Structures are given as C-alpha cells and as structure tokens.
C-alpha cells in the first residue's frame, strides 16, 4: 500500500468498509468509519467558518477524544497544520506556543473557554471541544454543511507541528509534512503486519507522535478498530486484552502490567503483538513479560523529528535491550561525536538518520535546524548507539541533556532556570535517576545559600505554578557544590552516579504504590 496522506488513506478505508467500527469507546457509543468521515467534514466546515485556510496553524489542547482525532483529519482536509499540545501544559507554557506558532484557531477544553477567549490575542479564534462530544466547535460544526472536497496538498506541505523542548530550554516546533507521516505509516504497517483485522488498545495520549502518528494513524490508514481509552490503566487494559490484537505503549505500561497476576498467557491468547517505545524498555521487564505471556515485546525507536526510525523484527528475534533494524527507506548511521566521521559496525557514537521520515526543520528556527543536520543531510538525533554484529541497533545513552519520565521528555534546562530563580538557591542541576515506574525520575540537585531556609517542599512549591506536573521534580536533593569538569561544565554523569539508587521511594515503589 502506498499512502499519499493519512486523510486520503482514511477516506479509502471509509469507501471500502463504511460500517466497520473505527473506534470503540467504553461508556460511549462506538463510531463507524462512515460516521468518522461525516465528523471530519463537519469539523472541516467549522474550521473554514473560523477563517482557517491552507497553511494556518490550529492549536489544540483538549482531553483525549475521538472527536479530537477527527479534528486532526479535518485539519488535513482543509490543508491546515495540526498543532497538538500536552494537556498538562500550564497557561504560561501555552502563551509561548501561541506566540511562536501564531495559530488562526485555538481549540481548548470547555472549562478553559471563557478564560482563553479573554486571554488570547485578537488574531486567534478560540473554540472548545470536550471529551464527551461537547463544546462550541462541535456546536458550530453541527450548524454547517460539511466540507466534502479535500484541499489538495503535496507530500512536502506541512501536516503538523509538534513542539519538543530543547537543551536551551526553549521549545522548538518540529515541522512534519504529509510525506513524513504517510511514508512512516506505510513502513510501520508493513513492518508490523498491521491490517484491518487488527483491534488496537489505544491508551496513549494523542498529543504526541506515539499515540497520534503511530497508533492512531496506523489504525485509520489500515481500517483497523481502536479501543479508544481516555488513559492507561493496567486493569482496564487487562480486561480488554481478550477482545484485542495489538497494544502500543511506553515502557511504564509494561512495567505496570507485569506487576499484575492477571497477566497470563490465557488472557493474551487473542493478542498478536505488544509494542514498546518512547523510552528504553528494561530487559527485566521484557523477560518478565515473556515469562508471563509467552510474548516478546517488540521494541522500536523514534523521535518527534523523525517519526519511527528502527524496529525489532516482526518475524525473527526481538532482542531485549535493542531497538532493531532501520525501517524501510530509512538510513541510520553511527558517527564520531567530535569529527562526524562515520564509524564501523560495533563502534559507539552519535546516531544519525536520513529518509522520508525525517522532518523539514524547526518552525521559524533556520539556524537551529541547520545545526542539527550534517552537511550531507543526516539528522543528528542526540542519541548514542552502536550496531551489533547482526545489525541490531543498541541505544547506549544520550548526547543531549534530557530526562524521559514515563515516556514524556523533560529538558533539565527548563527546570534549572526556574529553580535558580528561587530565593536562597545558588545553582541547581536536574538529572534523571532510575525509577521503577517512570523509568527515570526528574531529580533536582540544589546548592543553597548558607542559612537559606530551603527544603524539598519549598523548592517544588516555588516552581510548580508554571510547570506541567510531569516535569516537576519527584525529589530534591541538596549538595554543597556541583561537580564540574575543567571547562567548568556541571558533570551530570557524576551526579547520576553519586545519587544512583537514591530515589527516595524506591523501596515502597516495588508494589503498585507510587509516591509523587
């Protein structure tokens, strides 16, 4: 199958099987593909009514719903650029995105509508969309004749902008084209043998690549059914397994599932595939899952800027601790971190990627974009890795200062800047420490002024107001000084080594109980 755009592939699926269930949603009526298409047409009309034209950005910060997914397709229908935002972002975080992306329309949760209509610049229309098919955008859509013709787009036209934070602390909008999304979806459908016979348990958020451009796009393009869950809950997912075929999740899904004695080979007998990505899956979890179910979790590797890059094989050995082989048409190489020369198999270095999956650059940041590509067009991922003798890619570390907590990226710089402004703080360093549930726990190491009355609670309280919950430190440690190298750079590896095993809740976290 060759996909031109996800919207086109979806429309073909509607034609082929209009009455097929597109999404089951516990507690609400299911939706067929034909109903989905009708929703897309109406939402597209609402976009047009709010002045959205080809190339305009539509920013969306709403709770997960099938309608939000239809809104993404409606953007594609009118050639607009979908800009999903983490529901955890606070008002000050949102201000930045709106200032940078200058959306024509901002779609928010119903409870935020009044506030945002006052707060947004006059150039931005504001409508709401709720999780139970409610909100002003749907009211507007229902009053209009649907848009039935798609605005023509090319492979290079932008389909989405996804913000990722940066080592400078300033988020960057990764510009993803229709071609990026379509070719990657195509490659994944083939690699994972995903078809209209599949029923996917969709428990990921839909404001990031994993839940939106991997899980949802594949289901829409293949004509598969999604069981669309508001969020991940291990017991709910276990309840649904006998009726489903595929689960895609971050490692935390799997580390929580293996703790349940309900995870058995019997329960998963209808499931054909479990996929993990967004953060490293511990080999222990891989093995425990295999022991409980007989299934080897298929681990893959991707990035917002590149969509999916590599995958363990569908047929063949899925190796714990590796992320497998490059996907179809994707080139991956390992380069020397200092001089950029390409390294031989077995050597460890910077992972670089080229292919139709790689984004066009950062929104309105040409210099930043240029600095992250090599002269011959490879994107520098910031991850470190090596290929083993059989060609499996191993990710061995990160060249970028990044913590990944439960699959969410947290850039230390952003948190350090806030902590450093707290009265009584001399300086700080934010690191990730091993955490049994989230993989890494955001941890702040703070140097306080002599006599300053600071403790963990006061530091967290001082920075929390403007910071999404998942970015807030799970623990704050105090030190007399930060270790530095001869260049004066803070040695975070030394801090990680010194404090490894010091995660405060480690002991109590070995069951299902979790602290902050």
Q: Quick one: which segment of 44-52, 64-72, 288-296, 299-307 binds ligand AMP (CB under 6 A)?
A: 299-307
Are 430 and 422 in contact, with CB atoms under 8 Å apart? no
Site string for ligand AMP, 157-186 (x = CB under 6 A): -------x----------------------
Helices (DSSP H) in 279-407: which residue ranges? 283-293, 366-371
Torsion of CA 288, 291, 292, 298, to 10 degrees: 70
Q: How far is CA 296 from CA 33, 84, 152, 301, 315, in A?
A: 32, 32, 42, 16, 11
Cα 488 to Cα 491: distance, rounded to the nearest angstrom: 9
Return the number of the residue (84 or 135) whose C-beta is nearest ligand MCA. Answer: 84
Cα 251 to Cα 236: distance, rounded to the nearest angstrom: 17
Return the number of the residue (39 or 277) whose C-beta is nearest ligand AMP. Answer: 277
Q: Which of ligand MCA, ligand AMP, none does 211 bind, CB closer than 5 to 8 A by kind?
A: ligand MCA
Taking each helix axis from N to C end, the angle separating 33-49 and 6-16, rounded to the nearest 10 degrees, works out to 140
- Under DSSP, the state recorded for 498 is H
Cα 164 to Cα 336: distance, rounded to the nearest angstrom: 25
Question: How far apart are CB 464 and ligand AMP at their closest, in Å?
Answer: 22
User: Among 5, 357, 358, 50, which residue's Cα sits nearest to residue 152?
Assistant: 5
Return the number of the residue (183 or 304) whose C-beta is nearest ligand AMP. Answer: 304
Residue 278 is a binding residue for ligand AMP (CB under 6 A): yes
Residue 45 is a binding residue for ligand AMP (CB under 6 A): no
Question: How far apart are CB 119 and ligand MCA at their closest, in Å?
Answer: 24
Are 232 and 203 in contact, with CB atoms under 8 Å apart? yes
Q: Quick one: which segment of 5-13, 209-217, 332-340, 454-462 binds ligand MCA (CB under 6 A)?
A: 209-217
Helix (H, G, I), strand (E, B) or coil at 416: helix
Binding residues for ligand AMP, how many (CB under 6 A)? 19
Question: How far apart are CB 412 and ligand MCA at their closest, in Å?
Answer: 14
Residue 516 is a binding residue for ligand MCA (CB under 6 A): yes
Q: Which residues pair with 248 in a beta bridge?
A: 275
Q: Quick one: which segment of 166-174, 178-186, 400-408, 502-510 binds ligand MCA (CB under 6 A)?
A: 400-408
Residue 205 is a binding residue for ligand MCA (CB under 6 A): yes
Helix (H, G, I), strand (E, B) or coil at 125: strand
Q: Quick one: which segment of 73-81, 84-92, 297-305, 431-439 binds ligand AMP (CB under 6 A)?
A: 297-305
User: Among 275, 222, 272, 270, which residue's Cα sits nearest to residue 248?
Assistant: 275
Of the candidates 135, 171, 179, 302, which one interacts with ligand MCA according to CB under 6 A?
A: 302
Map tokens 């993989």 to a residue.
Answer: 439
Map tokens 């997914």 to a residue.
Answer: 69
Of the candidates 262, 469, 484, 512, which one interacts with ligand MCA according to CB under 6 A?
A: 469
Cα 126 to Cα 200: distance, rounded to the nearest angstrom: 33
Map the footprint of ligand MCA across residues 265-284, applying CB under 6 A: 277-278
Q: Which of ligand MCA, ligand AMP, none does 357 bind, CB closer than 5 to 8 A by kind?
A: none
Residue 302 is a binding residue for ligand AMP (CB under 6 A): yes
Question: How far apart are CB 249 and ligand AMP at their closest, in Å?
Answer: 11
Are 79 and 153 in contact, with CB atoms under 8 Å apart? yes
Map the footprint of ligand AMP across residues 378-397, applying CB under 6 A: 381-383, 395
Cα 195 to Cα 147: distance, rounded to the nearest angstrom: 28
Residue 301 is a binding residue for ligand AMP (CB under 6 A): yes
- Residues 6+ away with beta carbon under 8 Å from 271: 241, 244, 245, 246, 247, 293, 295
Site string for ligand MCA, 412-451 (x = CB under 6 A): --------------------------x-------------
Return the number of the residue (36 or 205) whose C-beta is nearest ligand AMP. Answer: 205
Q: Which residues bind ligand AMP (CB under 6 A)?
A: 164, 209, 277-280, 299, 301-304, 323, 381-383, 395, 398, 404, 409
Q: Which residues bind ligand MCA (CB under 6 A)?
A: 204-205, 208-211, 231-232, 250, 252, 277-278, 302-304, 405-408, 438, 469-470, 514, 516
């Amino acid at each position: 199958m060759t996909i031109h755009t996800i919207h086109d592939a979806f429309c073909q699926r509607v034609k082929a099987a209009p009455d097929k269930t597109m999404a089951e949603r516990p507690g609400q009526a299911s939706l067929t593909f034909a109903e989905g298409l009708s929703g897309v047409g109406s939402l597209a009309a609402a976009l047009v009514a709010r002045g959205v034209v080809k190339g305009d950005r539509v920013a969306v910060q709403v709770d997960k719903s099938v309608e939000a997914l239809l809104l993404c397709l409606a953007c594609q229908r009118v050639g607009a650029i979908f800009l999903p935002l983490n529901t955890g972002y606070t008002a000050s975080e949102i201000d930045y995105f709106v200032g940078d992306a200058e959306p024509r329309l901002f779609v928010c949760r119903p409870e935020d509508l009044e506030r945002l209509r006052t707060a947004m610049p006059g150039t931005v229309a504001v409508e709401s969309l709720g999780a139970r098919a409610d909100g002003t955008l749907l009211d507007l859509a229902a009053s209009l004749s649907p848009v039935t013709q798609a605005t023509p787009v090319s492979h290079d036209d932008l389909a989405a902008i996804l913000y990722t934070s940066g080592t400078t602390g300033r988020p960057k909008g990764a510009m993803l084209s229709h071609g990026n999304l379509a070719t990657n979806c195509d490659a994944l459908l083939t690699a994972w043998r995903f078809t209209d016979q599949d029923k996917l348990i969709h428990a990921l958020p839909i404001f990031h690549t994993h839940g939106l451009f991997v899980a949802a796009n594949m289901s829409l393009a293949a004509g598969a059914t999604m069981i669309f869950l508001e969020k991940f809950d291990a017991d709910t997912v276990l309840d649904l397994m006998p009726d489903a075929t595929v689960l895609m999740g971050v490692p935390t899904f799997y580390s929580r599932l293996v703790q349940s004695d309900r995870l058995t080979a019997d329960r998963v007998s209808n499931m054909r595939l479990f996929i993990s990505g967004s953060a490293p899956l511990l080999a222990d979890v891989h093995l425990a899952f295999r022991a409980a179910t007989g299934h080897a979790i298929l681990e893959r590797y991707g990035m917002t800027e590149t969509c999916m890059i590599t995958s363990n094989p569908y047929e063949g050995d899925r190796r714990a601790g590796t992320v497998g082989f490059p996907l179809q048409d994707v080139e991956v190489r390992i380069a020397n971190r200092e001089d950029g020369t390409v390294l031989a198999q077995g050597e460890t270095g910077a992972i670089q990627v080229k292919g139709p999956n790689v984004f066009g650059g950062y929104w309105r940041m040409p210099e930043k974009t240029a600095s992250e590509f090599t002269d011959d067009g490879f994107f520098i991922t910031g991850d470190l890795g090596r290929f083993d003798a059989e060609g499996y890619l191993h990710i061995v570390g990160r060249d970028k200062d990044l913590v990944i907590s439960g699959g969410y990226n947290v850039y230390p710089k952003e948190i350090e800047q806030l902590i450093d402004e707290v009265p009584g703080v001399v300086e700080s360093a934010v690191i990730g420490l091993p955490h049994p549930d989230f993989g890494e726990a955001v941890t702040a190491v703070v140097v306080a002024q002599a006599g300053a009355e600071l403790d963990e609670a006061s530091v967290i309280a001082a920075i929390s107001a403007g910071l999404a919950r998942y970015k807030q430190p799970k623990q704050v440690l105090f030190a007399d000084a930060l270790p530095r190298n001869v260049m004066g750079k803070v040695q975070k590896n030394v801090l990680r080594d010194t404090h490894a095993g010091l995660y405060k809740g480690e002991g109590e976290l070995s069951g299902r109980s979790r602290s902050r």
